Amino acid sequence: MAASFQKDSFVGWTRFRHGDFQCTVVTDGPLKMGPPANAFPKADPKEITELLTGAFLPADTMTLNQNLLIVNTGEGLVLFDTGCGVNQSFGKSSFGPDIGRAIWNMRAAGINPEDIDLVAITHAHPDHCWGLVDDDGNRLYPNAKIVISATDYDYWTDLSRILEAPHMKDFFGGAHYNLLAYRDRLIFVEDGKQVVPGITAHAATGHTPGHYIYAIESRDETLIIIGDVSHHEVLLRARTSAQGCRRLHLGRHSDGLRVKTVS
Ligand SMILES: [Zn+2]
């Protein structure tokens, strides 16, 4: 019998080793960022256009891959951020129909969302915490605890702030919708404190009031989850100065890893 042609050839995950840990990256889908100047405000627009068109990419709008990391420490599964989510009223309406694939790709990579023990949130912006619940408000990670800073939780779930910043109505509404579903499962991070063995939280306030980054250390290897970097595969390879985003100074001190935002 003639079989119909398959349409989906999208491979949405990859895997690597980090010391004793196994890391899996799954994509939530392409994040449409609009004009490149939004993400690279300090770069020369002419140069950006040349670089993008030289790589046969559109120059008027930029797409970044929205990727999530899952670390298997041997003792548990830790997911960092959740993507834009599947909510029709939030993620899908704000970021288009191609995002919200994290759960699908996770399962394709052999990881069940039900098996995630911890979801470590860097900050409560849409593309980081809107993937916690489904369209009906049900937890997509029913057995996980949520790690987040108290500052970001308090700030972004406070709906009264919509009056001060009506243009960010969905930011507050989406964070409230997703995070309050886990209100009995929250762990508030503290600067320099261990989240689980091998994973430490570090305050990196600036992008949001309570932005945290995470250091994942195993066998003298350190991986830093920053949570928001404009990581375009063409622009940043060609010119790291194009980034126009915060730089981080990393240094190792006797009491552990120090991370300091410098701009
Ligand atoms: Zn952000």
Mean pLDDT of the 66-85 span: 95
258 CA to centre of ligand 1 in angstroms: 22
Could you tell me which of 147, 144, 74, 75 has the C-alpha nearest to residue 112? 144
Q: How far is the C-alpha of 70 from the C-alpha of 169, rounded, in Å? A: 30
- What pLDDT was estimated at residue 9? 64
- Give one DSSP letter per residue of 171-235, joined into a string: HHHHHHHHHGGGGGGEEE--TT-EEETTEEEEE-TTSSTT-EEEEEEETTEEEEE-S-----TTH
The predicted structure's pLDDT at residue 261: 38
| Percentage of the chain exceeding pLDDT 90 | 63
Q: What pLDDT, on the 0 to 100 scale, is given for residue 163?
A: 95
- For 125-181, the pLDDT digits (tens) are 999 999 999 989 999 999 999 999 999 999 999 999 999 999 999 999 999 999 999
The rounded Å distance from CA 207 to ligand 1 centre is 7
| Residue 230: per-residue pLDDT | 66
For 6-39, the pLDDT digits (tens) are 766 667 999 999 999 999 999 999 888 888 888 7
CA of 20 to the centre of ligand 1 (A): 30
Q: Read off the pTM.
A: 0.85
User: What integer pLDDT is reported at residue 160 of this predicted model?
Assistant: 97
Q: Residue 3 C-alpha to ligand 1 middle, in angstroms?
A: 44
Using CA atoms, how far apart are residues 10 and 203, in angstroms rounded to an integer?
35
Contacts of 19 (CB under 8 A, 6+ apart): 198, 217, 218, 219, 220, 221
pLDDT tens sequence across 95-118 = 778 889 999 999 999 999 999 999
What integer pLDDT is reported at residue 239 of this predicted model?
Answer: 61
Distance 123 CA to ligand 1 centre (A): 7
Instruction: Give the β-pairing of 221-225 and 194-196.
Output: unpaired
Please report how many Cα atoms fall inside a 13 Å half-sphere around the Cα of residue 150, on the Cβ side. Answer: 5
Instruction: Report CA(129)–ligand 1 centroid distance (Å).
Output: 10
pLDDT at 225: 92
Query: Quick one: pLDDT at residue 210?
Result: 96
Give 228 Cα–ligand 1 centroid separation in angstroms: 5
Q: How far is the CA of 229 from the centre of ligand 1 (A)?
A: 9
Q: How far does the centroid of ligand 1 lie from the alpha carbon of residue 6, in Å?
A: 36
Q: In this model, does residue 242 exceed pLDDT 80?
A: no
Using alpha carbons only, how large is the chain's radius of gyration in Å?
19
Q: Tell whether the model's pLDDT for residue 246 goes beyond 70.
A: no
For the chain, domain boundaries: 13-34+58-215
Domain covering 13-34+58-215 in this structure, CATH number: 3.60.15.10
**What's the 155 CA to ligand 1 centre distance in angstroms?**
14
